Amino acid sequence: MDAGSSHTALYIYEWPAEKDNNTGRVEQTHLCKVKGPGISSYASAPVKAGESLRLCMEEAKQWVPGKRHHQTPLYLGATAGMRLLNMANSSASDKVFQAVEGALQKFPFSYQGAKIISGQDEGAFGWITVNYLDERLKQGLETRGALDLGGASTQISFVSDNYDGSESPSNSVTFRLYGNDYNLYTHSFLCYGKDQSLRMMQAHQSQAGPATVLDPCFHPGYTATKNYSVLYDSPCVSDRKPKDAPDTFTHIGIGDFLQCQAAVKSVFNFTSCKYSRCSFNGVLQPLLQGPYGAFSAYYFVMNFLNLTDTSVPLEDVKEKLKRYCATNWDQIMQQHPEVKLKYLAEYCFSGTYILTLLTEGYNFTSESYSDIKFIKKIKGSDAGWTLGYMLNLTNMIPAEAPDTPLLPHPGYVSVVSVIAVLLFILFIVSLRPLWPRCSKQPQIV
Ligand SMILES: Nc1nc2c(ncn2[C@@H]2O[C@H](COP(=O)(O)OP(=O)(O)OP(=O)(O)O)[C@@H](O)[C@H]2O)c(=O)[nH]1
Ligand SMILES: [Ca+2]
């Protein structure tokens, strides 16, 4: 189970129960999205966090054959929402885990625990998922970097030839998989998921605590009354809460992409770097290299905006987004009556944030932008950290390359069958001297 900051999802993975489970045949067979918010939102009513998982767990009981329930390991990993709750109020986060644990243990699966996973693991397992599903690991091919944009944090992970890990060990993960060594660069930026970065930007815009906030990242015609205490209720912004601010402010959209880009840039710090090169906030980042898969909110947002085609020049992408942001809110709502209003109101901001993070933050250029592919699934399985996490915990990826069989499995079956038939014929033939003679007796008259 992926207990994310914005929601929890339950994934069911399946593979043949033969001994040869090193052959990259793990598949996602079901996804259940838990109704309601992520578990970290239940800090003031922890029991409800456990209850929220029940429906998906019931579904899992239907999907996994009854006789396999007890043999099916169940893991829950929580990401940035619980990291933030743990920072702000560790006893509240413990209570949420107790409630979740109590609820999950009531089910017949082999419960293996619920925990917060580190940002490094989140990045590294996302990278493993993408490259496992692409069969790049097994075949020792060039790997694909992984870009994950969540609600509360964002991860970048890739292999770069000139990176040996010694400059910043906390950004380095080494693996030996299928006989190949990988030295992976990975970083997770807490607070730089799209929901928390929106808060950071709005906190920046409303430093003086005005009663009205004019926001270039929301459409012209958009107005909403918002609560200062809700906006500042996160460790990502809590230290910036203006004193003497009114309880509420009126949030008014003005839909100006260039101003929005400038406002988004204000959440990144580019001033100092003690390494050979940095992305932002003084974090080491080696030279970008190879192709990249960008998933979760990268995909949701760029897919909605019809901007998943990265062969379109970056300047044209920006131009399209500029026009989209300037479109009147009424018109946007009329064009997309089926989309949740919260998502709809934020696509201009989210698209601008994504382009700014990629180009200003990670240093993708007009040329290297086309190395990115926005993806949701690979061969039917969702891109995300859960598959890599599960493969690791069940020891499904061997360090050494498995002995490569001379023939694939069906080939063996045919050869063995032919040999068995030949041996049988040989056996029958070898019994020939013992056969009763059936020579014709001369008839005695
Ligand atoms: N537009 C749109 N946004 C979505 C959808 N599903 C999730 N989101 C939003 O996209 C952002 C990222 O979602 P996820 O990748 O699920 O984030 P998460 O795993 O909950 O958060 P982290 O713990 O930071 O990884 C959040 O702001 C979600 O509210 C969707 O189907 N459409
Ligand atoms: Ca996530």
Give the pLDDT confidence of 319-364 residue by residue, as tens digits.
Answer: 999 999 999 999 999 999 999 999 999 999 999 999 999 999 999 9
First to last CA, the chain: 94
Question: pLDDT averaged over the chain?
Answer: 93
Selection from 247, 245, 205 nearest residue 225 by Cα: 247
Name the token pair of 434: 């013992």
SS3 content of the chain, % helix, strand, coil (to 5): 40, 20, 40
- Domain ranges in the chain are 2-143+379-393, 194-374
Q: How far is the C-alpha of 281 from the C-alpha of 104, rounded, in Å?
A: 38
Which secondary structure element, helix H or strand E, spans residue 62, and what is its range?
A: helix 54-63
Q: Are the C-beta atoms of residues 280 and 272 closer than 8 Å to each other?
A: no
Q: How far is the C-alpha of 345 from the C-alpha of 333, rounded, in Å?
A: 9
Ion ligand 2 contact residues with beta carbon within 5 A: 4, 150
In the reported structure, the alpha carbon of residue 23 is separated from the centroid of ligand 2 by a whole-number distance in angstroms of 27
Show Cβ contacts of residue 414 under 8 Å, excluding neighbours closer than 6 positions.
none
**Length of the chain counted residue by residue:** 445
pLDDT grade, residue 437 (50/70/90)?
Answer: low
Q: What angle do CA 54, 149, 103 make, to 5 degrees?
A: 15
Say whether pLDDT at 427 is over 70: yes
Pocket test for ligand 1, best of 2, 6, 115, 234 (most atoms within 8 A of CB): 6
Multiple choice CATH, 194-374, 3.30.420.150, 3.90.1150.10, 3.40.50.300, 3.40.50.150: 3.30.420.150
Crossing angle of helices 257-265 and 314-326, rounded to 10°: 110
Say whether pLDDT at 439 is over 50: no
Q: What is the pLDDT of residue 436?
A: 59
Map tokens 């209720």 to a residue.
233
Give the pLDDT confidence of 276-313 residue by residue, as tens digits.
Answer: 999 999 999 999 999 999 999 999 999 999 999 999 99
User: How buried is 23 (Cβ within 10 angstroms: 0-12 exposed, 13-18 middle, 19+ buried)?
Assistant: middle
User: Active-site residue numbers?
Assistant: 122
Q: How far is the C-alpha of 407 from the C-alpha of 353, rounded, in Å?
A: 50
Give the pLDDT confidence of 94-136 residue by residue, as tens digits.
Answer: 999 999 999 999 999 999 999 999 999 999 999 999 999 999 9
- Is 4 near ligand 1, meaning CB less than 6 Å away? yes
Q: How far is the C-alpha of 375 from the C-alpha of 296, rounded, in Å?
A: 8
Pocket test for ligand 1, best of 117, 199, 300, 377 (most atoms within 8 A of CB): 300
Crossing angle of helices 385-393 and 119-133, rounded to 10°: 90
- Is 384 near ligand 1, meaning CB less than 6 Å away? no
For domain 2-143+379-393, the CATH class is alpha beta
In the reported structure, the alpha carbon of residue 55 is separated from the centroid of ligand 1 by a whole-number distance in angstroms of 20
In the reported structure, the alpha carbon of residue 4 is separated from the centroid of ligand 2 by a whole-number distance in angstroms of 5
Q: Decide whether 2-143+379-393 matches 194-374 in CATH topology.
A: yes
ipTM comes to: 0.99
- 3-state SS, residue 76: strand
Give the pLDDT confidence of 221-233 residue by residue, as tens digits.
Answer: 999 999 999 999 9
